[in-house]
A and B are shown apart, each in its own frame.
Chain A
């Protein structure tokens, strides 16, 4: 038995579609098997809410009178890119305030804009015959400006590593605060709910897939950067960072509940956002993939005190990690997550609600993402 996007969308429009979250389908498939479950379920919703550093926003600020070609742009003191056309800019999530050190950055500007707050704009330009103005200082809000959309080059990492620290000093990393001598370990995946772990080979997720992006509608726009397919798989899913997505979505639709500017001690600024991807249950194989649960998904623990060449110390599954402690060579290590499972659930449930109420239709991808991808390193020029 196979279903089509059209059939599923028709059922969504008439309110008949059966929608379950990726957590809810685990037991259903165990009880009834993938074939029966695939007949019953139309859509499985996934969700994740975590730090996604490779994110940012394109903004068109509008033309002043007389106009300016902005080459140096600050939003609440944070640098935005001045190398686009006159009043277009891109503000990256990790962009720092000048001078740095206040715990505020690009991600906070994005959060403030989505929350409807005024943001202070200071811009200068060379002054040209066509753009005579050389500077401007004003306040903007999301309502005042033209287009504002997130374009995130790498989100939704398909699995990630577990970080610990064997050294004698506390490390402050993008994986959080790592206490000395392996007192703790941190991980970052929504596990059972994680979008790309429920469609591990991207059979349904591709360019044009409509998604939940920070409380609004967004789209998968490309493969994410550092997309790779070479990671070893256990139970059909990779044991480390593997596939990624580039996503796009209108900031004016977004909800601040699903957006957080982060100041990660010792690392810097990042953006946490909630992303949910609906998986159409076109056949039993797709259903079987959605039945993956925390016990089946493994990640590798590595030592962040090593500057490079971090090898896997041991593999743990997410059910073990979520108990709050793991064992390593007879030692108990406290564990906690860097991404929000409560948030991931809220995303998956909100998306489920939208689809059940006929407010969100599925979009068939217009292009599959690559079946293969390898990661290249950067050669040191030796200078």
Chain B
């Protein structure tokens, strides 16, 4: 399975090697999509992990045990279909092609699973039809 997580850390666990542990102990394939840290040592990272379903659950539970806040991202990108007029201005700025024109109708659609939450589409949209909630 593949899943995306927001992992919040602070001064207490900022030095933990998260990805190393997930790879070596849980046989997961993590991919850091985004990471940010503030001056007080707190911050968050967006992590995509690929692996066996049980391993993913165990790995994330381990992170929780050592003090990380772990939240799975499911509907992190929302698309207001009523407001969207399917112009397509967001389509070519999406690096993962998560935003696309449905072939038959040419309506703009969003594939949440493929979205890596980079946010490039947000200011490409002229009617604020896309929102990112992390």
Contacts and interface: CB of A to CB of B under 8 A. Distances in A.
Interface in A153-207: 172, 176-177, 179, 184-186
A340 B92 contact: no
B92 A336 contact: yes
A370 interface: no
A55 interface: no
Interface in B99-115: 100-101, 105-108
Closest 8 pairs between A and B when the two form their complex, measured CB to CB: A336-B92, A336-B91, A184-B92, A262-B126, A177-B124, A337-B88, A334-B92, A342-B86
Most buried by A among B85, B97, B100, B108: B85
A140 interface: no
B123 A172 contact: yes
Contacts of A261: 127
Contact of A340 (B87, B90, B123, B124): B87
A262 B124 CA distance: 11
Given A324-B91, A342-B105, A176 B124 contact: yes
Given A262-B126, A334-B92, A338-B87, 17 more contacts: A103-B128, A176-B89, A177-B120, A184-B92, A260-B127, A263-B126, A263-B128, A264-B126, A324-B100, A334-B91, A340-B85, A340-B86, A340-B106, A342-B101, A342-B105, A342-B106, A345-B106
A51 B120 CA distance: 21
A341 interface: yes
B93 interface: yes
A9 interface: no
Nearest to A333: B92
Contacts of B108: 342
Contacts of A260: 85, 126-127
A345 B85 CA distance: 12
A65 B82 CA distance: 41
Contacts of B128: 103, 263
A212 interface: no
Contacts, number: 81
A94 interface: no
Contacts of B88: 336-338, 340-341
Interface of B: 85-93, 97, 100-101, 105-108, 120, 123-124, 126-128
Contacts of A343: 85-87
Contact of B89 (A186, A341, A342, A345): A186
A50 interface: yes
Interface residues on A, range: 20 to 34
Nearest to A103: B128
A335 interface: yes
A298 interface: no
Nearest to A262: B126
A272 interface: yes
Contacts of A262: 126-127
Given A340-B86, A342-B105, A345-B106, A263 B91 contact: no
Most buried by A among B93, B101, B128: B93
Nearest to B108: A342
Interface in A290-330: 324
Given A172-B123, A264-B126, A342-B107, A324 B92 contact: yes
26 contacts: A49-B85, A50-B87, A51-B87, A177-B93, A177-B120, A177-B124, A185-B92, A186-B89, A260-B126, A261-B127, A262-B126, A263-B126, A263-B127, A263-B128, A265-B123, A270-B126, A272-B87, A324-B92, A334-B93, A336-B93, A337-B87, A338-B87, A338-B88, A339-B87, A341-B106, A342-B86
A263 B85 CA distance: 13
A262 B107 CA distance: 18
A186 B92 contact: yes
Nearest to A274: B85
Contacts of B93: 176-177, 179, 184, 334, 336
A343 B97 CA distance: 21
Contacts of A263: 126-128
A260 to B, nearest CB: 5
A49 B84 CA distance: 13
Interface string A227-270: 00000000000000000000000000000000011111100001
Contacts of A179: 92-93, 120
A177 B87 contact: no
Contacts of B123: 172, 177, 265
B133 to A, nearest CB: 19
B127 A336 contact: no
Contacts of B127: 260-263
A51 to B, nearest CB: 8
Contacts of A270: 126
